[in-house]
Chain A
Amino acid sequence: MFKWFRKDKGAPPAIEAPPPPAAMAEPSSALPEAATGVDAAIAAAADSLAPAHRPAVEPAPMPAPTPVVGTVLSAIAAPAAETERVPALFAGEEALAPEPPKPRSLRERLAASARALTASVGNLFRRNPKLDEDLLEELETALIQADVGVTASSELVEQLRVRMKKREFADANALLAALRAQLTGLVAPHARPLRIPPTPRPFVILTVGVNGAGKTTTIGKLAMRYRQAGLAVMLAAGDTFRAAAVEQLKTWGERNQVQVIAQGSGADSASVIYDALQAASARGVDVLIADTAGRLHTQGHLMQELAKVKRVLAKIDPSAPHETLLVIDGGTGQNALNQARQFHQAVGLTGIAVTKLDGTAKGGMVFALCREMKLPIRFIGVGEKREDLREFVAADFVDALLPRELGQA
């Protein structure tokens, strides 16, 4: 399904991609299975529901929905069967070279994220390359399924519609290229990686986010990143609430020879981080990364606690924290915006990291975040390994979501 992902339009498919027949056979053979799986689930659901809505509808309890769900879901499901093929296609982070076997590249890891979108868009163009309303509608569908959001998706597609009516696009490819440009245009201004400047020292990074977003893991990866860049890193175990959070960070520190400042569980988070900043200044540390307990953005008192951490830091260094990084789970839906808003209001964010983009989550809410929050997107997490934290690159992100070329299999 990805074989056209990076392929030149004119080039014979076999050069860069597995032979089309095989690639094609895979999804199509996966289709019935996936479809039946869903059908079974729906049938099961329908069984239990039948009495409730039998009166209104014709004989079959669920006439229309089944095919709809079946096809859309199989579009989602099919690519999973293709995981094996992905590396060959997505290898090479910068290079467009045919087969550089550089495993676990960004594109490869993002491949998963891209799957549903590319799959459905791909199907769409293979099936129906005509420039018409159906095409736009299905593009909108694809965007929505990537968590881009209804409003944003509709707007994007509306712009395309206007341009299509003016006959700006020669074919579906041109239309997709335009969409791609639009999406890139939305995120590109916000793709500003976090580079540690020579001053101030220590450079303080405060990480915040909801429970289970991946703060501690991201901190671990960040620490590794800066350590490898030759900086002296220290961690502050500011999550004093969750059971064993301190141990989690300590384990991380031990494994990677990074100092961790911690007090016991239940200590005051602000006090731990304050201590850590003092220690960091005394020991000449370059980067101090402070963990905080996950908290839902709706809990006022916990948000105030974060504000306190910030205030306390400012007592030692008025400019600290130099980066307040919001960590968001890539699987989050429209709630991501609420999270960003509330955290921004409480502590004044300066950057965002989006985690867990190596799964089937597509991270489309990044567009909404860019549109409204206008905060820099610093990093994306694409795996569980230390090195799986990447700088956010707009073109790559969009590339992984939308194919540049369209397959004509």
Chain B
Amino acid sequence: MFENLQKRLTETVNRLRGRGRLSEENIREALREVRIALLEADVALPVVQALIERVKGRAVGQEVLQSLTPGQTLVKIVHDELVAVMGARNEELNLNCPAPAVVLMAGLQGSGKTTTSGKLAKLLMERRRKRVMLVSCDVYRPAAIKQLETVAGQVGAEFHPSTPEQRPLDIARGALDAARRQLIDVLIVDTAGRLAIDQAMMAEVAELNTALKPIETLFVVDSMTGQDAANTAKAFAEALPLTGVILTKTDGDARGGAALSVRYLTGRPIKFLGAGEKLDALEPFHPDRVASRILGMGDVLSLIEDVTRKADQDKMEKLAAKVVSGKKFDLNDMREQLLQMQNMGGMASMIDKLPGMPKLGDVNAMGAMGDRELRKMVAIINSMTPKERRSPDLLNGSRKARVARGSGTHPSDINKLLKQHMMMEKMMKKLSSGGIKGMLRALKGGMGGMGGGMPPGGFRR
């Protein structure tokens, strides 16, 4: 199956190497690949076509950046466009209105409205300190009201009871009254799933919307949705004044092209991602992450973000300066890096963000092993004298035996570490430019040697 757009594109535009400029001619084939990639990620066809036009418009005549291949340049443009379409930044839930602020949830059957209502309630209570009430207007599906009641109990939100005999509109009005009386900050109204072509049902939800005047009308959409996302999003956007979108079930392996379609066709921001079975698994939406995922590039940007945020900037820069000035990369530096990697959540969380990595259970096992490895390596370096750390060449057989005893490892482990150090040193030497980006690359090289789980060079190029 399709693994990595960047890899494929690089192959397609390989023969562009040496040319300094992208032209309509030489990117045609590459754009075809982009089109296929987007379609395979379930971006709706009309949206794909529009995007390709935009990318073409931007790419033609573009200089190829010195540090990038033409393929990479193109991928960057596509990526930038995707991010641009999806909105540059995360948009928060707007609750600026007299209490109770009403949030209406709408969407197809099985898109995850009820679960998401519960998650949203929890998030608002915990992070924004709101008093939240939940009410279900789903009088159709058996036990839907009971489901919301249970969820409300689980997250500790108020619940306004309703029965299947009531009319949704009456339920909503009753809940609004109750919310006012009980000084509730936010009233989340769950509705029945409905098909966009079911005119009676669409009229019903529109009526609810008119009566409740919600400050947020959220469209809940399954991230696994295919081309139909276009029809559905459009129909809901026409029937309701949507203010935002919640994308659910993003913890699966769908590429989530629906996010792009819905964003593009409704013009409304995606505000949250549902990413797990637990009731706290609702995350703010980051356009760039999803863009990378759609392109099959993994969560590289989040990784960069993580590295820049958590890694100790000072130390990194010192090291970078050292590398640039051509000084040696010694075991002290390696130790710093290992510690920083641990700091970033260890191998498991880093591997999770890399493209082309399996997302299944075995990753955890592998990651855990990697983390153990990390600790062991730090222990080994800790058992060395400062002199040994500065010049690893000193380590002869007897020194190695001593270090092994000190760190509770085997001399063979020491050899392994030294070999990895050598590889990292080589990488460092290759770095012509320092800075965070360079460091990141080096880090990756280090990991490649260490974990043994990553394909050599399976990343970035």
Contacts and interface: CB of A to CB of B under 8 A. Distances in A.
Given A56-B57, A245-B147, A298-B253, A333 B225 contact: yes
Interface string A15-50: 000000000000000000000011011101100110
A145 B49 CA distance: 12
Contacts of A360: 195-197, 228, 231-232, 235
Interface stretch (B262-270, B329-337, B439-447): B262-270
A165 to B, nearest CB: 21
Interface in A360-378: 360-362, 364-365
A65 B54 contact: yes
A241 B53 CA distance: 46
A356 B110 contact: yes
16 contacts: A45-B267, A49-B84, A52-B84, A53-B58, A57-B58, A64-B53, A66-B50, A69-B50, A72-B46, A149-B40, A242-B115, A297-B253, A336-B226, A338-B254, A359-B108, A360-B235
B41 to A, nearest CB: 8
A69 B49 contact: yes
B49 A144 contact: no
B143 interface: yes
Interface stretch (A125-133, A171-179, A191-199, A211-219): A211-219
A279 interface: no
Interface residues of B, number: 83
Closest 7 CB pairs of A and B: A333-B226, A212-B110, A300-B361, A65-B50, A333-B42, A243-B150, A244-B147
A48 B87 contact: yes
Contact of B224 (A48, A64, A333, A358): A333
A270 B261 CA distance: 39
B101 to A, nearest CB: 24
A251 B143 contact: yes
Interface in B252-292: 252-255, 257-258, 263-267, 277
B50 A68 contact: yes
Contacts of B59: 56
B226 A365 contact: yes
Interface of B: 36, 39-42, 44-47, 49-51, 53-54, 57-62, 80-81, 84-85, 87-88, 108-112, 114-115, 118, 140-144, 146-151, 154, 195-199, 222, 224-232, 234-235, 237-238, 249, 251-255, 257-258, 263-267, 277, 359-362
B249 A76 contact: no
Interface of A: 37-38, 40-42, 44-45, 48-49, 52-53, 55-58, 62-66, 68-69, 72-73, 76-77, 80, 83, 112, 116, 141, 144-147, 149-151, 210-214, 217, 241-245, 247-248, 250-252, 255, 265, 296-301, 329, 331-336, 338-339, 356, 358-362, 364-365, 384
Contact of B54 (A53, A211, A252, A334): A53
Given A45-B264, A53-B58, A244 B225 contact: no
Nearest to A329: B110
Nearest to B364: A300
A134 to B, nearest CB: 15
B50 A211 contact: no
Contacts of B144: 244, 248
A42 B227 contact: no
Contacts of A112: 195, 197
Contacts of B36: 150
A147 B40 CA distance: 10
A109 B40 CA distance: 27
A217 B59 CA distance: 49
Contact of A248 (B57, B60, B80, B142): B142
Contact of A212 (B58, B109, B359): B109
B334 to A, nearest CB: 33
A63 B52 CA distance: 12
Given A42-B50, A144-B45, A329 B222 contact: yes
A365 B39 CA distance: 13
A56 B62 contact: yes
A65 B308 CA distance: 37
A356 B108 contact: yes
A330 to B, nearest CB: 8
Contacts of A329: 110, 222, 224
Contacts of A41: 234, 237, 264-267
Residue picked from A37, A116, A244, most chain B C-beta under 10 Å? A244
Contacts of A362: 227-228
Nearest to A153: B39
A66 to B, nearest CB: 8
Given A52-B84, A83-B197, A251-B143, A335 B360 contact: no
Contacts of A299: 251
A385 to B, nearest CB: 11
Residue picked from B109, B114, B198, most chain A C-beta under 10 Å? B109
A335 B143 contact: no
B273 to A, nearest CB: 14
A269 to B, nearest CB: 14
Nearest to B111: A212
Contact of B230 (A65, A73, A358): A73
A37 B238 contact: yes
Given A41-B267, A144-B45, A332 B230 contact: no
A26 B80 CA distance: 40
Nearest to A251: B142
Contact of B267 (A44, A56, A116, A361): A44
Nearest to A40: B267
A365 to B, nearest CB: 7
Contact of B45 (A145, A255, A358): A145
Contacts of B255: 334-335
Nearest to B60: A56
Nearest to A79: B197
A244 B251 CA distance: 23
B12 to A, nearest CB: 16
B227 A63 contact: no
Contacts of A212: 109-112, 222, 249
Contacts of A298: 251-253, 359-360
B50 A335 contact: no
B112 A147 contact: no
A296 B108 CA distance: 18
A53 B87 CA distance: 13
Contact of B53 (A68, A144, A365): A68
A338 B50 contact: no
Contacts of B143: 244-245, 247-248, 250-251
Given A296-B252, A333-B226, A144 B85 contact: no
Nearest to A154: B36
Contacts of A217: 141
Contacts of A57: 54, 57-58
A68 B253 contact: no
A22 B267 CA distance: 33
